[in-house]
Chains A and B, each alone.
Chain A
């Protein structure tokens, strides 16, 4: 077994760029569609890959993987569509309520969770500051590490942890429960 070298598809080559598109389109599309809804996602995803192509000279493989770099670009573009994001969240809140209420067993418990959780979780996410929401969703939806988020958004490593903690605290408060056992984990 031979360990060779770092290698990511080469952005400068058209073939390399195509490989990156093929490898990451679905994942980036899913993330953007989750945040903005499918109607606005297509434009933003196209813009994400175009931006990546235009700014390929600025991409530094030593600092970030292609994946987190693309998430960073997509996240910045999503920030320009605040209205679409709130609209999508409002729709999600309603959908969560409908889905829960139409469930099979334990209707009462579901109705409670639908009314108090679905809409208010969506509402609480919508009310977060942009920076806090970006970090929270890059963790929850994209599964990026703190380090990847720091390079993707161009913020210090420590800031990722503090934003995440602040966002989670606000969500817990909005959901009406505070758990003293869950402290800050930096």
Chain B
């Protein structure tokens, strides 16, 4: 008898509660007092997130969608609000594109990608930290991209979608919508896409029939049979969380910095 499994079934999985999170966070900020301003702290330009770097476990799962909005009104309004916020983010400068995320609630992963093409990843797992030099930190539909190429992407939603679709090559017709959605969401957080490109990506996602609104600022789409979800903060245009089959990534930081990775 697998009693532990039965216990898990009995308890179920409570839905994540973004409102509770915000309330608790506000309470903590209030009771802890305001954070002191540190001049040493690098200034992150909060930007955002990408599914392209996520390893995809090849396990399909289907979850019943209770709050899907059949009219698409919420979907468009949330994504267009995010597009507006993205467009308003001032241009950022820095030597390194830096992304920090927490995988499955425990492992912390960081990426530094320099304009000179050098890049490192750092992984904190349990009590070990491993730093690795990496080539090709960014890919779009499997094509390696340099920072300059990402910055030169079209800032018009139609042109951006066409550009991404042109890169699909041998992807079967039925998988195209999901793959395009995946490439566009990658421009929102994991890649150093400038404000105009991010805004265009949000607008293009609003037009994609393959993207579903699941309520609570959460969007879902299917890539080659695997469900993916993206949680955004429409006020700031930040991607908060990306998840797929058994893997959840919480984005802590995605922005430019001058601070170099400490390499021994």
Contact = CB atoms under 8 A, between A and B. Distances in A.
A6 B24 contact: no
Given A30-B14, A33-B14, A38-B14, A25 B21 contact: yes
Interface in A13-62: 13-15, 17-19, 21-27, 29-30, 33-35, 38, 41-42, 45-46, 49-50, 53
Contacts of A15: 35, 38, 41
Contacts, number: 130
Interface stretch (A72-80, A102-110, A133-141, A155-163): A133-141
Contacts of B36: 14
A29 to B, nearest CB: 7
A117 interface: yes
Interface string B1-41: 10110111111111011001101110110011001101001
Contact of B13 (A1, A30, A96): A30
Interface string B231-251: 000000000000000000010
Given A34-B12, A121-B7, A175-B1, 20 more contacts: A4-B122, A6-B127, A14-B32, A15-B41, A18-B35, A23-B250, A26-B21, A29-B20, A30-B16, A42-B20, A42-B24, A45-B20, A65-B106, A92-B12, A137-B7, A140-B7, A171-B7, A172-B1, A172-B3, A179-B1
A146 interface: no
B76 to A, nearest CB: 27
Given A24-B105, A121-B7, A171-B3, A65 B14 contact: no
Interface of B: 1, 3-4, 6-14, 16-17, 20-21, 23-25, 27-28, 31-32, 35-36, 38, 41, 102, 105-106, 108, 122, 124, 126-132, 250, 252, 262-264
B63 to A, nearest CB: 16
A50 to B, nearest CB: 6
Contacts of B38: 13, 15
A168 B262 contact: no
B10 A19 contact: no
Contacts of B9: 96
B131 A4 contact: yes
Nearest to A96: B10
A125 interface: yes
Contact of B252 (A19, A96, A117): A19
A34 B131 CA distance: 37
In this complex, the member of B24, B28, B38, B264 whose beta carbon has the largest number of chain A beta carbons within 10 angstroms is B24
A109 B106 CA distance: 39
Nearest to A88: B11
B252 A23 contact: yes
A26 to B, nearest CB: 5
A154 interface: no
Contacts of A171: 3, 7
Nearest to A7: B129
A133 to B, nearest CB: 10
Contacts of B27: 46
A186 interface: no
Contacts of A19: 252
Contacts of B17: 29, 33, 38
Contacts of A137: 7
B14 A34 contact: yes
Nearest to A117: B6
Nearest to A18: B35
Given A33-B14, A49-B28, A122-B10, A27 B3 contact: no
In this complex, the member of B7, B8, B36, B122 whose beta carbon has the largest number of chain A beta carbons within 10 angstroms is B7
A25 B129 CA distance: 23
